[in-house]
Amino acid sequence: MASNQTSQRPYSQRQLRVGELVKQNLGELFIRNEAKIPSINSKLITVTEVIMTPDLKTARVYVIPLGGIDTKETVRILTEYSHLVRRALSKRLDIKFLPKLTFVEDNSFEYAEKIERIINKNKQNDKEKKRYN
């Protein structure tokens, strides 16, 4: 979903493995509402990707609420209560350093929709051109 490659070196196997472990546990944590975040229904949050820094001390967590509604507000609330999410995550993970969580809205689905609309529009234009030729 979110772009994996920037102008930096590719991610190590360890970063990918720990990122996937954090992603799975965050997903389960949200489904079971173990973080007890006030003013948000965590069952409606999808964790699409987790990207770890090379030292594994920070995780960038890409999230999207169900239906993509109020994404910015959801990210704001998750950021505000990230200490609760970290505490709940610490009970699930047994790793040397529990990563600091940075929540980011995932726009990859919107981007994919935009590309899909452009492709469909081009197909429609091609059909119209063929009809008149």
Give the mean pLDDT of 36-58.
89
For 1-34, how does the pLDDT look when each residue is reduced to its tens digit (9 = 90+)? 455 444 567 888 999 999 999 999 999 999 998 8
Q: Can you give the residue ranges of every domain in the chain?
A: 13-107
| Consecutive H or E run containing 61 | strand 58-65
Residue whose entry in the numeric block shows the structure tokens 């492709």: 119
Give the mean pLDDT of 115-132.
82
Which is nearest to 57 in space by CA: 27, 13, 92, 102?
A: 102
Give the mean pLDDT of 76-105.
90
For 52-76, how does the pLDDT look when each residue is reduced to its tens digit (9 = 90+)? 999 999 999 999 988 777 888 889 9
What is the model's pTM?
0.76
Q: For the domain 13-107, what is the CATH code?
A: 3.30.300.20
Which is nearest to 59 in space by CA: 93, 107, 9?
A: 93
Higher pLDDT, 119 or 131: 119
